[in-house]
Structure 1
Amino acid sequence: MTLLLSLMLLVAACGGDDGGDAASGDGTGDRSGERRPDATVFTWQSSDGVEIEAEVRRGGDQWVLMGHQFTGNRRDWDQMVEGFSARGYTVLTWDFRCHGESGCNTVNNSKRDATKEIWREWLAALDYAKANGATVIHAGGASMGGTSLIQVAADRDDITTIFAISSPNRFQGLDALENYDRVTVPKLFIVGADDMAAPDFSQRYFDMATGPARLDILETALHGNTLAQDPVWGPIVQPMLYAFAEDPDGYIAAGEVNNLESAAQAEAADEESDAVEAEQAEDEQPVASEDGNRPAGAPLSGYALALIAPGDGGDQVVIVDPFQSDEFVITRQFEGDVEEVIWLPSSPTVGVGTGGGGTGGALILLDLTTEPPGEVRIPFDFLPDGIAPQFFDMQFSNDGIVLSFSVVPEGVAQAPATPAVVNLLGPTLLAPYAGVLSDSPTTTGLQSPDDTLLLSREVGEVLLLLPTTLAPGFVFAAPEIDEPPTVCVGGECVPLEYSTIFPDEYDWFANSSNNAFWVRYTNKLYIGSPEQEALVEWLTLPGVPFDASVSPGGDQIAWVTSGPPEGANGIFISDIQSEATRLLVQDSDLIFFDLQWSPDSRFISFSSLSRVDRSVGVLVIDAATGEVFTIGPGCCAEWSPFISAS
């Protein structure tokens, strides 16, 4: 094990889920039990019943509200509470749900699962301030605290100014950009120039801002609350925020990077924008170009795609920003086959599975923070004799240290696979299969969102395994089906023939509170959970569905269907609550497969195989409009879990 790998994995283990919300290295986030004698500590109940621990320090009728970063708590603002209080402000801070002393309503007290609901704390804080005499409200957040604030600010008229330190545009179900154009109050964005992708987040906020805004970029890699209270940078950042609250317009005007313009300039810009929009409205909708370039005006996603493409003498891994560049950003040529690419959950690192199914299988980690990307090769020679890795359905644990994959008999073609779990800090095999290979067609595993269970499959049943032993946690038998169902597409119906019941589609709900998962039998979807220990019929889909994928938000499911009419492949999407189904795209000359949602649930990447020339390509479709964008040759794309650099 090399020092580089140890450091990379240590960073992944300590980092936050957005590639930036790292736990503070100077002890922030561990002082929630202390009390300030001059502050009032109280508890409010958020709109969904979670008890939130808050603290208010009384001053005048101008209030400052501050929300902390992921893994932190309200005490991370101590220095600024003192500073604002000394200037006569009333200061309100709190612990977001599942942080500090606040309550938690997620399984295993998961902060990650709770993040998408922390906007509720902002609503309660704003209502509390108004009810207690606030006439002016300055609101600010660090990292996810700023993201959730901006999301809420789009629908509030009681916020006077906003400041955000190192805040991502989207994070774990939060989306600050969806209605960002409605946030018109003065805004200040502060970020470290070397803070991973955070400068790009802040730049995007600034570029898209409606109303006065200023961007201050500091020469540091510090992030969020750590930047605000650092012994060196804290004395620089804090006076900036005090000055901004005192005179927002004056502070913005004095900045070298601001978006202020004269009334005439603004009017001219609006007229030009209206003219461009009118011209675009007359044009046809963008379509995928044959040469693989994205059309002008393609929507911004902000997430990168890693995909496998053909190369000279072997496969190559390509990392591309699908909408913001017409060029591939990184290409790495390999000798031989690449079986799968996968992103580490909390760092800009791509895992590449090469040479599996025979001798020499290895996992290669590409560190995208260096130019050229740094590489660490992890050979799988620690596996028992006669066994080789098969890098399909690879999945990292949330800390990036544990990897689930599958193993097969060495050198045996079309051999059944068996799940395996390895700790990469060693590396050591955590879950050997006791020397017995499965007789079933496949048993590859997918880890649950909280890393406690491994979802696998056998003929006629679904298995939930314990990752450290591969011992069965639960076994779900396939439902009994008396007769073949009838499937209908486009008004044409045929009976579906089948020989064995096999759950050839299965996946976890990423945002589930009870590790619920879904599987597919024939044309029916069933949903189950370890708590229920049962499968319950959920949806009936048209056609012969396969390769389905649940959106990260858990409210939509997309799938490919083959069958009538004329065996054409199509991509459908269903709303999980209403069961309303619509066709996104269909093409009789193409076979679609490998659907992957972008983390913000806006786009779906997929691969296509031409029935005419057998070429394979990667495309992206807008889940709302059905617009298709060609990315390039290759297959098996994986979205980055964080927003990429623009």
Structure 2
Amino acid sequence: MKRFFRFFRYIFSCLLFLASIGVYSTNRLMYMKTKKDQFIYNRERDAGRFDPASFEALRKQEVAIPSPYGYHLKTIIVEPFEKKHYIIISHGVTENKINSIKYMNLFLKRGYNVLIYDHRRHGESGGKTTSFGHYEKFDLKAVVDWVHENRGKDILLGIHGESMGAATMILYAGMLDDGADFYIADCPFSDFKEEIQHLISSEVKLPAKLLLPIADLFIRLREHYSLRDVSPITVIDKITKPMLFIHSEKDDFILPSMTQKLFEKKKGPKKLFFASNGLHAQSYNENKEAYEQAIDDFLQEYVHVKET
């Protein structure tokens, strides 16, 4: 009997240990610490990428778009132009819509009306957890649907995504390829499980093969999706609309090889630009002229062909 109780205590201790790992690891994902809104505001302003006075002077409208999950997405739509060219900017994890203003300015210079928004659990949007693209892709669909319903089905619509925002965009486009006319993916991950494994091995120095199955099990139990569902590489070949891929050669957070894999598997019109300077999500900040030239070349070759 004593042997049985020792065995029972051993099994219980093991299960408790695994459960603690599962809760801890999924908490790190679900509740990843986001940057303070004021920090992002100050950072972008001080770097010269955001001028509050110029932004306030723009013709714009704030819209709270309902998410299918019961909260609202805070969006700002800037519309200085009569022509029906629109682009949606999808920011990265821990950021907010203020980080998207530099891309907004880029497209305003090219005659596009722009919608920027906060992902769930970021900035001023609702939502309790981050899912790195799984639930975010349905929020993006809600934003795209709002633009089509309120600005017309005949608009020219693009989506620009950075990091998690780029992965979200690809997952959305793979689900519904006719949502937008073109896509720009800046430093996306190709597979979330592979990305987590890379981060664990390079930063945490823990056995990823042990942690990933436990994290996946607890994500299934707590959030009702699997890590394998967050895999842009599995849907990229469903996207036929033109796509520009961008990545910094020196990115050691999301490796450039992930974008290379996505580019190679993507069918139809596509272009690839590797920036020579900058780490993760810094391609535009550190290579402004080359970045804008890559955008112009892509738009001229694949998007504005019928207009010339």
Give, in whole Å, the separation in 2 of the partners of 1:103 and 1:37: 27
Give, in whole Å, the separation in 2 of the partners of 1:250 and 1:194: 31
Contact 1:67 1:146 in 2 (8 A): yes
Contact 1:166 1:191 in 2 (8 A): yes
User: Could you tell me which residue of structure 2 aligns to residue 220 of structure 1?
Assistant: 277
User: Could you tell me which residue of structure 2 aligns to residue 205 of structure 1?
Assistant: 262
**What is the letter of the counterpart of residue 156 of structure 2?**
V
User: Could you tell me which residue of structure 2 aligns to residue 75 of structure 1?
Assistant: 98
Give, in whole Å, the separation in 2 of the partners of 1:180 and 1:192: 20
Q: Normalised by the size of structure 1, how large is the TM-score?
A: 0.32
Give, in whole Å, the separation in 1 of the partners of 2:269 and 2:148: 24
User: Could you tell me which residue of structure 1 aligns to residue 107 of structure 2?
Assistant: 84
Change in Cα spacing, 1:29 to 1:70, as seen in structure 2 (3 Å) is farther
User: Could you tell me which residue of structure 2 aligns to residue 142 of structure 1?
Assistant: 162
Q: Which runs of 5+ in 2 are unaligned?
A: 1-27, 45-51, 193-226
> Which one of 186, 195, 211 corresponds to residue 242 of structure 2?
186
Change in Cα spacing, 1:104 to 1:189, as seen in structure 2 (3 Å) is same
Q: State the Cα distance separating 1:36 from its structure 2 match.
A: 3.0
Q: What are the superposed Cα offsets for residues 313-368 of structure 1, whole Å, 9 maximum, x if unpaired? A: xxxxxxxxxxxxxxxxxxxxxxxxxxxxxxxxxxxxxxxxxxxxxxxxxxxxxxxx
Q: What are the superposed Cα offsets for residues 364-422 of structure 1, whole Å, 9 maximum, x if unpaired? A: xxxxxxxxxxxxxxxxxxxxxxxxxxxxxxxxxxxxxxxxxxxxxxxxxxxxxxxxxxx
Q: State the Cα distance separating 1:23 from its structure 2 match.
A: 6.9
**What is the letter of the counterpart of residue 213 of structure 1?**
K
User: Is it true that 1:124 corresponds to 2:142 in the alignment?
Assistant: yes
Q: State the Cα distance separating 1:22 from its structure 2 match.
A: 10
Give, in whole Å, the separation in 2 of the partners of 1:22 and 1:94: 15
**What is the letter of the counterpart of residue 157 of structure 1?**
D
Contact 2:236 2:266 in 1 (8 A): yes
User: Could you tell me which residue of structure 2 aligns to residue 153 of structure 1?
Assistant: 173
Contact 1:50 1:105 in 2 (8 A): no
Give, in whole Å, the separation in 2 of the partners of 1:210 and 1:23: 36
3-state secondary structure, aligned to 1:177: helix
Q: State the Cα distance separating 1:126 from its structure 2 match.
A: 1.1
Q: What are the superposed Cα offsets for residues 410-464 of structure 1, whole Å, 9 maximum, x if unpaired? A: xxxxxxxxxxxxxxxxxxxxxxxxxxxxxxxxxxxxxxxxxxxxxxxxxxxxxxx
Give, in whole Å, the separation in 1 of the partners of 2:121 and 2:278: 27
Change in Cα spacing, 1:220 to 1:121, as seen in structure 2 (3 Å) is same
Change in Cα spacing, 1:214 to 1:123, as seen in structure 2 (3 Å) is same
Contact 1:138 1:245 in 2 (8 A): no
3-state secondary structure, aligned to 1:36: helix
User: Could you tell me which residue of structure 1 aligns to residue 56 of structure 2?
Assistant: 36
Give, in whole Å, the separation in 1 of the partners of 2:34 and 2:266: 26
Give, in whole Å, the separation in 2 of the partners of 1:114 and 1:29: 23
User: Could you tell me which residue of structure 2 aligns to residue 527 of structure 1?
Assistant: none
Contact 2:133 2:167 in 1 (8 A): no
User: Is it true that 1:101 corresponds to 2:124 in the alignment?
Assistant: yes
Give, in whole Å, the separation in 2 of the partners of 1:147 and 1:36: 30
Q: What are the superposed Cα offsets for residues 555-582 of structure 1, whole Å, 9 maximum, x if unpaired? A: xxxxxxxxxxxxxxxxxxxxxxxxxxxx
Contact 2:275 2:291 in 1 (8 A): no
Larger of the two Rg values belongs to structure? 1
Give, in whole Å, the separation in 1 of the partners of 2:42 and 2:239: 33
User: Could you tell me which residue of structure 2 aligns to residue 548 of structure 1?
Assistant: none
Contact 2:177 2:240 in 1 (8 A): no
Change in Cα spacing, 1:30 to 1:95, as seen in structure 2 (3 Å) is farther
**What is the letter of the counterpart of residue 193 of structure 1?**
E
Q: State the Cα distance separating 1:174 from its structure 2 match.
A: 2.2
In the TM superposition, 1:155-170 aligns within 5 A as 155-170=176-191
**What is the letter of the counterpart of residue 167 of structure 1?**
P
Contact 2:140 2:172 in 1 (8 A): yes
Contact 1:138 1:161 in 2 (8 A): yes
Give, in whole Å, the separation in 2 of the partners of 1:220 and 1:182: 31
Q: State the Cα distance separating 1:121 from its structure 2 match.
A: 2.0
Contact 1:22 1:223 in 2 (8 A): no
3-state secondary structure, aligned to 1:207: helix
Q: State the Cα distance separating 1:115 from its structure 2 match.
A: 4.8
Give, in whole Å, the separation in 1 of the partners of 2:191 and 2:35: 18
Q: State the Cα distance separating 1:57 from its structure 2 match.
A: 0.8
Give, in whole Å, the separation in 1 of the partners of 2:92 and 2:114: 17
Change in Cα spacing, 1:145 to 1:114, as seen in structure 2 (3 Å) is closer
**What is the letter of the counterpart of residue 85 of structure 1?**
L
Which structure has more helix as a fraction of its residues? 2
Contact 1:62 1:136 in 2 (8 A): yes
Give, in whole Å, the separation in 2 of the partners of 1:22 and 1:95: 12
3-state secondary structure, aligned to 2:92: coil
Which structure has more strand as a fraction of its residues? 1
In percent, how many aligned pairs have the same letter?
22
Q: State the Cα distance separating 1:37 from its structure 2 match.
A: 3.6
User: Could you tell me which residue of structure 2 aligns to residue 292 of structure 1?
Assistant: none
Give, in whole Å, the separation in 2 of the partners of 1:29 and 1:144: 20
Q: State the Cα distance separating 1:183 from its structure 2 match.
A: 0.3
User: Could you tell me which residue of structure 2 aligns to residue 247 of structure 1?
Assistant: 301
Q: What are the superposed Cα offsets for residues 456-489 of structure 1, whole Å, 9 maximum, x if unpaired? A: xxxxxxxxxxxxxxxxxxxxxxxxxxxxxxxxxx
Q: Normalised by the size of structure 2, how large is the TM-score?
A: 0.64
Change in Cα spacing, 1:22 to 1:99, as seen in structure 2 (3 Å) is closer
Give, in whole Å, the separation in 2 of the partners of 1:179 and 1:63: 24
In the TM superposition, 1:112-511 aligns within 5 A as 113=131, 115-131=133-149, 132-133=151-152, 135-154=155-174, 155-171=176-192, 174-196=230-252, 197-224=254-281, 226-228=282-284, 230=285, 232-248=286-302
Higher relative contact order (CA 8 A, sep 6+): 2
Give, in whole Å, the separation in 1 of the partners of 2:138 and 2:42: 23
3-state secondary structure, aligned to 2:75: strand
User: Is it true that 1:66 corresponds to 2:84 in the alignment?
Assistant: no
